[in-house]
Structure 1
Amino acid sequence: MTDSAIVARPHDRLAKELADDLVAVNALIRARMESRHAPRIPEVTAHLVEAGGKRLRPMLTLAAARLCGYDGPWHIHLAATVEFIHTATLLHDDVVDESAQRRGRPTANLLWDNKSSVLVGDYLFARSFQLMVEPGNLRVLEILSNAAATIAEGEVLQLSAAQNLATDEDIYLQIVRGKTAALFSAATESGAVIANAPDDHVRALFNYGDALGIAFQIADDLLDYQGDSTATGKNIGDDFRERKLTLPVIKAVGQATEDERAFWKRTIELGRQDARDLDHALELMAKYNTLAATRNDARHWADTAKSAIAALPDHRIRTLLHDLADYVVARLA
């Protein structure tokens, strides 16, 4: 892929637009992930933080602040806060999911151990609270601390719902809003609040982040069944093998015959799978057209995100955020 093609992607164009701020965010992240007494903390953190992630969530904070005309220093702290919260949840998620790979690299729990991943995740959560306090803005503190609690709540809900065939689309959406969209919406909302934006602008950016996060997660769940493993860093069907009830399967279960439901019960609830089961699962999803239906849901939420910011002042950042929502689902074509 050429350099011009890379820059053409919305998140890369956004990164270029916010380049100076991102340098400051990365410097702050590196400074705050240090530990004088426990060198394993920066080792584990650096493995994930510097693994080539897109910094999408902190970029949303920077973009919202810029869009709302902010010219102070604190959006850098808030963006670093968002990235620390995100990194902490990834460390914990990989332990819970017993994952061996993330972003195409071995996970921290595999390279070190579960205890290190959990405790370093806890450290990053603590660091994130230190960072979010420093701007001295109580409303921002409320937004980000509520998001941290909501993310944890969503993860716990997923534990009980992920292998339960009673899980329906409403519960799935509740999980997605908790574990993914909550941080997207907190990122955009806090950026607007630190800029003292009008309430309708703050609400618009919150709604944008919420809908973008939902579209992002639905797309990610769909790509597990039809994506390019070299691009996603995951093997096709990993969610099925890990017995996760995501939207394509939930839609298939909702239309299943008695025999088909018995298949889903055996493979998802009871975890008894053989080598042919993934192919059969894909056949059932094709039978009920659930991959296309899931794609349509992702596009609906991307359109909702674009509509949320349509009334904001014309600005090149707004255009990039609009294009970013399109890009999240363009991967599904």
Structure 2
Amino acid sequence: MLKEKVMSTALTGNEEALRILADYLKDDMQACNRTIISRMDSPVPLIPQLAAHLIAAGGKRLRPLLTLASARLCGYPYGPEHQRHIKLAACVEFIHTATLLHDDVVDDSNLRRGLASANAVFGNKASVLVGDFLFARSFQLMTDDGSLKVMGILSSAAATIAEGEVLQMSTQNDLSTSIEKYLDVIHGKTAALFAAACRIGAIITERPEREELALESFGTNLGMAFQLVDDALDYAANQGTLGKTIGDDFREGKITLPVLAAYQKAEGVEKVFWKRVIEQNEQTDQDLEMALSYIEKSHAIQATMDKADWYAQKAIDALNVFEETPLRKMLVDTTYYTVNRAR
């Protein structure tokens, strides 16, 4: 559980904490959104059409928000001549959106953020190619920034994301996957970009390495907590909360902590059930409901949330190198919101 001192200052599990952070960074975020829209433009009509579909779907833009917040936390100066954090926040969002487009094709997903996914509307080929376009745009923005260190961190994150997705594919339907390997998957597919998004805020402000690494640790642990909660929500949320079809991970045979925790406690018919529905991928219409009952019985969601709380506390502790400011508190509250989404 999160430390009492953190819980006493944190907001409730709704989106209020994230809204306060977004309001505080409103001018920066508006400039970032303008950059995103302008860089999504193309003389090829399908690209801005698909891009407009993604923008209409909304999303919290958490990763670019973290880049902007990290830069401001480190004292990045204001003024029209200081725009590096804006372009790099847009770069982070392009990397993230490109991976979402590709993921939805790989997973054959029909929903994204509560609306029809891009591949459901435009087809798989268009989604893959526009994802490639967004990756290319992200590297253009890195080049525009001109920092080899920034480029190295963001390009390494992009490669790590791909490795995480491939590792997840290799563990699919495999109940012998260790919890350690599962954590490697979510570090690659999610936490690596959170870490890079936060660290570059310190780099462009030319802060000491101690602060760079503190923000990298904050981002890593926040990303781990974020993905653990997402994996819990697939078995504990309603469709409106999750923004995708409930049970997608189950139907795809994805190995997540709720499944691993339930399987490790299973005996007899329960163990046979998990092997049939996950390893053999033989599922009936009633199996999701049965899986939910076994997960509840084994307290697998609680085990997942306990792990998310542990990472969230590590994220908050990493911020201790910075002086207490309203922005630091907003980042603490945003961390608490992240783990409270499933409660």
- 1: CA distance between counterparts of 2:281 and 2:17? 40
Query: Partner residue of 2:104?
Result: 94
Does structure 2 retain, via aligned residues, the 8 Å contact 1:7–1:13? no
Does residue 1:285 correspond to 2:291, yes or no? no
Does structure 1 retain, via aligned residues, the 8 Å contact 2:13–2:340? no
- Among 11, 14, 36, the residue aligned to 1:29: 36
Amino acid of the structure 1 residue aligned with 2:106: V
Q: For 1:274, what is the secondary structure of its paired residue?
A: coil
Q: Once superposed, which parts of structure 1, at least 4 consecutive aligned residues long, lie more than 3 Å away?
A: 5-8
Query: Partner residue of 2:94?
Result: 84
Amino acid of the structure 2 residue aligned with 1:169: I
- 2: CA distance between counterparts of 1:46 and 1:197? 37
Query: Partner residue of 1:301?
Result: 311
Amino acid of the structure 1 residue aligned with 2:84: W
Query: Partner residue of 1:189?
Result: 199
Q: For 1:134, what is the secondary structure of its paired residue?
A: helix
Please say which of residues 100-109 and 47-56 is displaced more in the overlay. 47-56
Please say which of residues 144-153 and 44-53 is displaced more in the overlay. 44-53
Amino acid of the structure 1 residue aligned with 2:257: L
- Among 203, 209, 225, the residue aligned to 2:213: 203
- Among 69, 85, 88, the residue aligned to 1:63: 69
Q: Residues 6 and 269 of structure 1: is their aligned pair in 2 closer, same or farther, counting only changes over 3 Å? A: closer
Does residue 1:143 correspond to 2:143, yes or no? no
Query: Partner residue of 1:52?
Result: 58
Q: Mark the runs of 5 or more structure 1 residues left unpaired by the alignment.
A: none
1:105-184 to 2 correspondence within 5 Å?
105-184=115-194
Does structure 2 retain, via aligned residues, the 8 Å contact 1:162–1:245? yes
Amino acid of the structure 1 residue aligned with 2:32: V
Does structure 2 retain, via aligned residues, the 8 Å contact 1:208–1:306? yes
Amino acid of the structure 1 residue aligned with 2:299: N
Q: Residues 312 and 106 of structure 1: is their aligned pair in 2 closer, same or farther, counting only changes over 3 Å? A: same
Amino acid of the structure 2 residue aligned with 1:119: L
- The CA deviation at 1:276 is 2.0
Query: Partner residue of 2:251?
Result: 241
Does structure 2 retain, via aligned residues, the 8 Å contact 1:49–1:87? no
Q: For 2:254, what is the secondary structure of its paired residue?
A: coil
User: What is the Cα-based RMSD across aligned positions, in Å?
Assistant: 1.6
- The CA deviation at 1:262 is 2.4
- The CA deviation at 1:126 is 0.5
Deviations 1:100-130 (A, max 9, x none): 1111111111111110000000010000000
TM-score (norm 1): 0.95
- The CA deviation at 1:6 is 11
- 1: CA distance between counterparts of 2:172 and 2:332? 32
Q: For 1:34, what is the secondary structure of its paired residue?
A: coil
Q: Mark the runs of 5 or more structure 2 residues left unpaired by the alignment.
A: 1-11
Amino acid of the structure 1 residue aligned with 2:250: F
- 2: CA distance between counterparts of 1:42 and 1:86? 17
Amino acid of the structure 1 residue aligned with 2:46: R
Deviations 1:257-284 (A, max 9, x none): 2543322121012211112212221222
Does structure 2 retain, via aligned residues, the 8 Å contact 1:91–1:118? yes
Identical-pair percentage: 52
- 2: CA distance between counterparts of 1:48 and 1:159? 25
Deviations 1:274-329 (A, max 9, x none): 12212221222223221111111111111111111022122211110000111111
- Among 200, 215, 225, the residue aligned to 2:225: 215
TM-score (norm 2): 0.92
Amino acid of the structure 2 residue aligned with 1:270: Q
- 2: CA distance between counterparts of 1:169 and 1:88? 27
Comparing both chains, which one has the higher relative contact order based on Cα–Cα distances under 8 Å and sequence gaps of 6 or more? 2
- 2: CA distance between counterparts of 1:51 and 1:234? 12
Amino acid of the structure 1 residue aligned with 2:187: R
